[in-house]
Structure 1
Amino acid sequence: MSVLHPDMPSSVGDKARRGFRVTGLVFAGLGLLAILVPTVATFVVEQLVAWFLILWGIAGLLFASSFRSFSEWRLVAAGFVAVLLAGIAFVLMPGAGATILTGVLISVFLLEGVLSILLGLRLSGNLDSWRWIIFSGACSFALGMILLIAWTDAACWVIGFMVGLNFLSTGLSLLLLSRVKKI
């Protein structure tokens, strides 16, 4: 019998386990590689973002051109030109893209930290485990501050390292899931 559906044949569960195992190995391998060479991984992620921005800008310009009958079409087109130019800049100046992406990451950590601390304080009268929310917020804020202090040095490796950690944890969870007897 299967946890996913009681009527599912066991061969489907075996196939799912193999899929989890293969995908887990790929993710864990990529994660370890990114952790071992985070500057290369940062470059790869940055270039992936750059090309997505370029494609987004081009598609957006095509979209905006279909609205030429509206007076605001130029404003929409200008926004997509900015996206396109950002992507081109990331491709032509890779270090600048990593610095910007790291800055965004720092901002997210700092904002999440402050908001989590405020939420924890707000819930302190209603929730017994409110301190864990504050702890999580303090960790996010501290990580943001550490990265902010080391921003110029960290920009070349932090994105790749974080992506590597994410891939590794995803891969390990899939590998552990593949060991479950009933899928």
Structure 2
Amino acid sequence: MSLNETLDQRQLEQKAASAIHDQWGFYLTEGIILLVLGLLAILIPPVATLSATIVIGAVFFASGVAGLISTFSGHRAPGFWWSLISAVLGIVVGLMLLVQPIAGAVSLTLVLIAFFIAEGVFSIFFGVDHRRHVSTWGWMVASGVVDLVLAVILLAGLPGDAAWALGLLVGINLIFGGAALAAIALRLRTSASLPPA
């Protein structure tokens, strides 16, 4: 490796580190919002479970209606029937979640398990990617491990715990994710104020 390539590599690393440092305020804001939402979800988990179910039902319903409108506006396009079936499915699933949110909580709990697994894996990778730039990268890795543990706990308690567990575990997830982001943000703020090496 030549001296120029080494210098280019160092400049690229410094630019990447600088770009990360400039974002500390956004990380802190997101972390605080996640902490507050997590505390609310833990204090009233049944309400958080119902809220999550209703919001997701509304999203499915709205996407189904939008799909139905776009399907009929382009009725001569290929794939009309597949688009129509997809739109009707979105409307039906949305209505089911809106009309019977408690029953929908069990299904959403299964989706949440998959989310926690994916979020856990991605959080661990995110933390490992930041290990060269942020000394508190371990917080994000710990947050990912907690997500994986929550997925296992949730899977073990189905279906009886779905009414309260969904809200409680979402709250725990939000608190750990918010704490990890806040810790990274505060470390980035401190390192951003230091002169470059």
Do they superpose with TM above 0.5?
yes
Distance (whole Å) between structure 2 residues aligned to residue 142 and residue 19 of structure 1 = 31
**Equivalent residues in 2 for 1:23-172 (5 A)?**
23-70=30-77, 72-105=79-112, 108=114, 143=153, 145-148=155-158, 151=159, 153-172=160-179
The higher-RCO structure (CA 8 Å, 6+ apart) is 1
Match of 2:144 in 1: none
Match of 2:185 in 1: 178
Percent of aligned pairs sharing the same letter: 26
> Does 2:12 correspond to 1:5?
no
How many residue pairs get matched? 148
**Matched residue type, 1:58:** V
Distance (whole Å) between structure 2 residues aligned to residue 141 and residue 75 of structure 1 = 33
Listed one character per residue, the Cα deviations across residues 104-125 of structure 1 (whole Å, up to 9, x for unaligned) are 446x49x99xxxxxxxxxxxxx
DSSP-derived class of the 2:181 partner: helix
Preserved contact between residue 150 and residue 169 of structure 2 (Cα < 8 Å): no
**TM-score under structure 2 normalisation?**
0.61
**TM-score under structure 1 normalisation?**
0.65
Structure 2 unaligned spans of 5+:
1-12, 119-147, 193-197
Structure 1 unaligned spans of 5+:
113-137
- Deviation, 1:18, is 3.7
**Matched residue type, 2:15:** H
Preserved contact between residue 63 and residue 87 of structure 2 (Cα < 8 Å): yes
**Matched residue type, 1:171:** G
**Matched residue type, 2:107:** I
Q: Structure 1's 64 and 87: CA in aligned 2 closer, same or farther, altered over 3 A?
A: same
RMSD: 3.4
- Structure with bigger helix share is 2
**Matched residue type, 1:32:** L
Match of 1:132 in 2: none
Q: Structure 1's 173 and 66: CA in aligned 2 closer, same or farther, altered over 3 A?
A: same
Q: Structure 1's 4 and 41: CA in aligned 2 closer, same or farther, altered over 3 A?
A: farther
